[in-house]
Structures are given as C-alpha cells and as structure tokens.
Structure 1
Amino acid sequence: MKRTYLIYILILTAFYSCSYVNEDDLTEDIMVDDVTYEDNIKTIIDSNCISCHSNPPTNGAPMALTTYDNVRDAVENRNLIGRISATDASVMPAGGQRLPQSIIDLVIQWEAEGLIEN
C-alpha cells in the first residue's frame, strides 16, 4: 500500500513539475542596449536564414542575406520583419517554426535604432 502511494506521488510530482505553454516560455527576453548587425543580427541570420538565403539563394528564396547590405535592404524594402513576425503560412524560416519573440524583438530594435552595422 505504501508503495502504491509513493508511485502516485512520484507521478503527480513529475506531472505538475513540468509545464510548457509555448516556445516563448522557454526563452528569456534578450536585453541589449545597442543592437548592431555584427554583434547581434548576423548570428540570427546565419543560424536561421542562410540555409536558403545564401549566395546564390536556394530553395526558391528571392534574395541572399549574406551581407549587412543584403539584410538592411531586406528590412527596409522586403518586409523581413513582417515575414519573421507572421503567424500564418508566410512565416520565415520557411517550413520551420516561427522564431522566438525575443529574437524578433531584437531585429525590431535593430531597425528602430537605425540598422547600425558595428
């Protein structure tokens, strides 16, 4: 009988100790005073976009995102922030999960601060 209670307690403990609502709950906010392409944005692009947005682009990607000028142009003229912020089928990265909001916010902050290179 004691063993049965112990098993129930262990199962309940395991069940209630893990909670997960969405991916944003697992990522912490990224606080950066001055966002620059070299220090912050390049890593995001290289980790999430270069597989298709290389030079030359692959998998139907319309442009490369391999340089500061490419990425700045994509933010200013090609709705990059809208594409990574989307919640429908147009979300980037294509075929993948939406980037965590903290990463999207960093790109938005970079734009708001003037798209600084370094």
Structure 2
Amino acid sequence: MYIISSAVVLTACESRTYEEISDNTPITGVVTYNKDVKPIIDANCVSCHSPGPEDLRTYSQVKGDIDGIIDRISRANGDPLKMPQGGSLSPAQINIITKWKADGLLEN
C-alpha cells in the first residue's frame, strides 16, 4: 500500500510548464479580427500600444503590422523583444493570430 501511495504522490507532483498544459488545439473554423483577434489585442497590447507610432487600436493598424506582431509574440521567453512585455500570450492565442493571417486577415 505504501508503494502505491508513494507512486501516486510522486506522479501528482510532476512539474509541467504553462505551454504544456494550455490549450493548443488546432483551430478548425475561420478566424476573423472582430470575433477572435481584437479581444486578444485589446486585453494584451492596447494598454501600451496606443496612441503612438505602434498603435494597435484598429483593424487596419493590426493588419498592417501583422508580421511584426507575429514575430514579437512568437519569440522565446527571455528575449527582450518578446511581447507582451512581462508576460506571454498562450499558445492558443498565438495560434488564433497566426491562423487569422493564414485565413486572409478577415475583418468580420
């Protein structure tokens, strides 16, 4: 009995990263800016990127900088150019933004 209890405790204490446990399910539907991308940008980017030269408050601004955005959100943790500063988007959020580009950057 002691051996089984020890095995359960050791298994339960397994350390996993956020990336390993976050939802990274492939996206099957079409991704649009207003429905899928805008909420991510508003919650994670607009507080620093508005107003100014790197403004991300509108569809056209985000669409125009999509390559830069994908580059910055996809960088490794610890990279000083990774965005958002002081954190990271989840793999699911990054997948939504990259799929939006692959789907043609649709607004609605």
Equivalent residue for 1:85? Answer: 74
Distance in 1, Cα, partners of 2:43 & 2:13 = 28
Distance in 2, Cα, partners of 1:18 & 1:117 = 44
Q: Using a 3 Å threshold, how does the CA distance of structure 1 residues 28 and 18 change in structure 2: closer, same or farther? A: farther
AA paired with 2:42?
D
Equivalent residue for 2:61? Answer: 70
Deviation (angstroms), 1:26: 2.6
Equivalent residue for 1:27? Answer: 22
AA paired with 1:89?
P
What do residues 54-94 of structure 1 show as CA deviations (whole Å, max 9, x unaligned)? 2x24xxxx411111011101115xx1100000111110001
Aligned-pair identity in percent equals 37
Unaligned 5+ runs, structure 1? none
Contact 2:32 2:107 in 1 (8 A): yes
Distance in 2, Cα, partners of 1:24 & 1:103 = 11
AA paired with 1:108?
T
Structure possessing the higher radius of gyration over alpha carbons = 1
The Cα RMSD (Å) is 2.4
SS for the counterpart of 1:86 is coil
Equivalent residue for 2:93? Answer: 103
Aligned residue pair count: 105
> Which ranges of 4 or more aligned residues in structure 1 deviate by more than 3 Å?
11-15
Unaligned 5+ runs, structure 2? none
